[in-house]
Amino acid sequence: MKTKRNIEILIVTLLTGFVVIYAIWPSEPRYQGKTLTKWLEYYYIKYGSGTGRNRPLPPKEHEAVDAIGVKAIPTLLSMLKAKDSPTRTNFIRFWRQHGFPKIDWGMEANNQHEMAGMGFAILGKEARAATSGLIKHTVNEDPKIRRTALLCLNTIEADPQMLFPVLVERLKDDEDLVSHVAAYMLREKFPKEAERLGIYERFPELKRSFKPGIQHFDWLL
């Protein structure tokens, strides 16, 4: 019994140490003592996903992301590729079931994708240095990440010469929503090339003043 008790104490100690390190590790930029993630979580909870240049926040709300500037890019790219792994999900469930101290585990992956979009929308053209990183995410195995990466490329107004081949490639995407976003962006940014590529035959609704309905993300178009 004593050995079992010692093992339990060791496990709890290790888990507690892991959580403390996870919580305080200085891995991202801060503003007024809060991490970029905390600021974006605050924006997301208070205002929802429709926050960006097209839906301006009060000056104070933009201030944090604007002040952090391009230093936010690595964190935003990391948030964009977030996934909810079974290991993380099971660990959090285990922690809560055993009544350990309450921990802020952060947002789920889908929420983080939206928060990344918010950050890029606030930075706008200032985040163009993220273009290559976003392009890499357009071939992610997760179609939601591919779609969000395209939308972020749109909101930072990525260089047309870099953007065009990405959009052409994503027209072939097996996920309709991804290919539809690519087609819409081609129509808006490269109208002559879009017609040559036959997107109006494939997506006849684009002949009209049409924007693809994307829950939570249409403000990035």
| Residues 144-194: tens digit of each pLDDT | 999 999 999 999 999 999 999 999 999 999 999 899 999 999 999 999 999
In this structure, which amino acid lies at residue 22?
Y
Q: Which domain holds residue 99?
A: 2-220
pLDDT of 141 strictly over 90 = yes
The pLDDT of residue 87:
80
The pLDDT of residue 132:
97
The H or E element that residue 12 is part of is helix 2-24
Q: How many domains does the chain have?
A: 1
Percent of the chain with pLDDT over 70: 74
In this structure, which amino acid lies at residue 33?
G
pLDDT of 83 strictly over 70 = yes
Which tens digit of pLDDT belongs to each residue from 44-69?
877 765 444 445 555 566 789 999 99
Measuring CA to CA, which residue among 107, 56, 106, 79 is closest to residue 219?
A: 56
pLDDT of 13 strictly over 60 = no
The pLDDT of residue 2:
55
pLDDT tier at 30 (50, 70, 90 boundaries)? Answer: very high
E strands in the chain: 30-31, 34-35
Residue scoring higher pLDDT (161 or 27): 161
The pLDDT of residue 120:
94
Residue 115, beta-bridge partner list: none
Average pLDDT over residues 25-30: 74
